[in-house]
Structure 1
């Protein structure tokens, strides 16, 4: 892996500034690492276990590109085809299983599944939405798909449909006044947290505990695009967003919300993040060179 060139050279931070717990104090943020490519929108990342990362991004020909980190090394980018009209979102519900969703040319949602081999692209919903969809998983065989807005309306609220027992549910409206794609994560089978940029440009948050959704809350900040979120254990959340100064910002939940922290960067996209275990976070963005860049906490 190569370090960022002079373009990102000024972005290095004093590492290890987070002191949320004794164990976290022993970890530190890496410098930015560049992964090349020429991409549109926000990359997405998922993991199915320690030491594994799957990164996806939309190439300039609108195909889905994929890069894997495994056994301590990065494999080359590969094309998975398709024609994407939004940034992708990806989740793994277990080893050897990945679901990727994105907008299609008809304004609906398409899905690509890996279960040992890559399956053909399929349309899973034909609605028209304001922003890219997001997908999360509460365990094997469980998916939750989130969109903002509905076709033919002025709706700017969040909507969810779920996959369980081999079938999709209908849509449920969760309200809100949102102006970006959502980001979602589950820290156990009974919990989902969803984030998006609100109409006031702050970070908005809602959650479900055992099927009961809470009210929307603002977590402050001034963000310019869709956030990303990761969780390494029950009760832990790490949210990332592009600020109005195009830098990376981070806000953590660990027995309460911590203050926003600045992590530099020259971003041209939103943020995607994932954790493969305690004290490990990987955040991915598109830089102003149209390449994919990564910052890690470990």
Structure 2
């Protein structure tokens, strides 16, 4: 039975950052109707825009440290709402939600939002200078939500559910933001905001051994990736009409995946490999290419985002390969 939670926002309207869909919300959106399972399609190269570069090893910069001494106790989360701007979040020592901004070529320094987190955060921008963050909190298995209205953070809101993983967040169309988690039965569940209220929780089946990761590569589209019981990655797609069946994406992953869309019909998929390095595979508009090894010797699941066409920024907790000591957050960027 679907549980409907009405959580009304009191300032700016809830319109995602890259919203392109202008139709009114429908009860058929994102799985409220009976699920129809169909094989995932591979797309059409003719739909690919001109000028988008293929991701290549030569386009990546070096790994670099994220400034500001912080003891991160979770994988990071990163989102963006403007060109060449990054909003980075992590759980700090003691469970506080920490936040740092990169803009104008400079880092802001870490800010403490509090919250008593029991999981890694997951954050998504849904409009210019508007963001939502989700996490589990200490003493609760429910998913909690906090949002930024351009000037201040809201109070934490309880979205319910019984989560056994950190959440994943994505904004996928006009007045839309969705959160995905692994449930107590190891299946993937989803709640989403339809422009007026929260709708929860929708069962997506699967056997998850990680946090989900989701992105929106186009209007009214969502693609979610998870690690399965055999440590291989799997994908499920909302194509604007219905959800596809789970599709095997390969690789022996030792972390949850992360995924970012860097242009219409362009997707990059990342995970930590069994060698501890960041692995990367991408969809070039007509086929999957990779995997490539991006190094890094990372100690957490990665987090990646694109602020525009032909841009990717990836973050993770780093570890010294010789002394096995924490190196804090590290970043690697690609520009096509």
For this structure pair, what is the TM-score category when the shorter chain's length is used for normalisation?
A: 0.7 to 0.9
**Is the 1:37–1:290 contact (alpha carbons within 8 Å) kept by the matching residues of 2?**
no
**Aligned-partner Cα distance in 2 for 1:30–1:114:** 31
Query: Equivalent of 1:257, from 288, 301, 308?
Result: 288
Offset of 1:71 from its aligned partner? 1.1
Offset of 1:62 from its aligned partner? 0.8
Q: Does structure 1 residue 30 correspond to structure 2 residue 53?
A: no
**Is the 1:110–1:122 contact (alpha carbons within 8 Å) kept by the matching residues of 2?**
yes
TM-score of the superposed pair, with normalisation by structure 1:
0.88
Higher RCO (C-alpha 8 Å, min separation 6): 2
Query: Aligned-residue CA RMSD in angstroms?
Result: 1.8
Partner of 2:309: 278
Consecutive aligned runs of 4 or more in structure 1 exceeding 4 Å deviation: 20-27
Partner of 2:245: 215
Partner of 1:296: 333
Offset of 1:117 from its aligned partner? 2.1
Q: Deviations over 1:96-120 (max 9, x none)?
A: 1010111112111111211112223
**Is the 1:38–1:290 contact (alpha carbons within 8 Å) kept by the matching residues of 2?**
no
**Is the 2:214–2:225 contact (alpha carbons within 8 Å) kept by the matching residues of 1?**
yes
**Is the 2:233–2:250 contact (alpha carbons within 8 Å) kept by the matching residues of 1?**
yes
More deviation in 230-239 or 21-30?
Answer: 21-30
- Correspondences of 1:60-71 after superposition (within 5 Å): 60-71=93-104
Unaligned runs of 5+ in 1: 1-19
**Aligned-partner Cα distance in 2 for 1:27–1:232:** 17
**Aligned-partner Cα distance in 2 for 1:177–1:26:** 32
TM-score of the superposed pair, with normalisation by structure 2:
0.78
**Aligned-partner Cα distance in 2 for 1:22–1:202:** 27
- The number of residues matched between the two structures is 275
**Aligned-partner Cα distance in 1 for 2:317–2:279:** 14
| Secondary structure at 2:154 match in 1 | coil
Q: Does structure 1 residue 82 correspond to structure 2 residue 115?
A: yes
- Correspondences of 1:91-102 after superposition (within 5 Å): 91-102=124-135
Partner of 1:118: 152
